[in-house]
Structures are given as C-alpha cells and as structure tokens.
Amino acid sequence: MIQNIEIAILSSKNTSYYSQLIKYIDKSNLSENERILFDKIWAEAIDFSNWNDSDLSLGCKITHERLRKNFKLSDEAIAKIVRIASYEWK
C-alpha cells in the first residue's frame, strides 16, 4: 500500500505545490485506503507543530523526522513531501 503512494509521490516531477502534487495523486489510481493514508501523511507533513518556528530549515528537519518515524517511505519521497509542505508555510 505505501509503495503505491511512494510511486505516486515520486512520479510527480517538477512539483513544488500541493495543488500540483494532488493532480498526480488523483491520476495515480490509489485505492480508497491508500488515499486515506496519503491524506494522513500530508496532514502530518503540514501540522502546525512542525512549522511553529521562524526557521524554515528547522521545520523541514522536524517534519522529515516525523514522517520517517511514522511512515515507511523512502528518504526521497519524504524529502519531496517536506519540500512541498515547506511552500505551504513560507
């Protein structure tokens, strides 16, 4: 299940914003359970407690660690999610 989500995330080339990422997610034909899990991953990535500091790099670090700890995604997929989430907080 997580593997399909990771494939969808990594297939989204030149993606910097959530609205762009979600187009790839919608096209990827994830099952309902996979979509629910993706939504949980995204919710954790943009959680206020991750970004509650003026230092954007600290928010990236906190978010990366939380996603790594809670979801079995590759570092590459996590980095992409963190980068996109960081644009939501700029």
Domain locations in the chain as residue ranges:
2-89
- What confidence tens digit (pLDDT) does each residue in 53-84 have? 889 999 999 999 999 999 999 999 999 999 99
Whose CA is closest to 18, among 48, 32, 38? 38
Position 35 scores a pLDDT of 95
Distance CA 16, CA 32 (A): 25
- What confidence tens digit (pLDDT) does each residue in 16-53 have? 888 888 888 988 889 999 999 999 999 999 999 999 98
Dihedral angle of Cα 26, 5, 78, 9, to the nearest 10 degrees: -40
Is the CB of residue 57 less than 8 Å from the CB of residue 65?
no
pLDDT at 14 over 80: no
Position 27 scores a pLDDT of 87
* Mean pLDDT score of the chain: 92
Is the CB of residue 15 less than 8 Å from the CB of residue 80?
yes
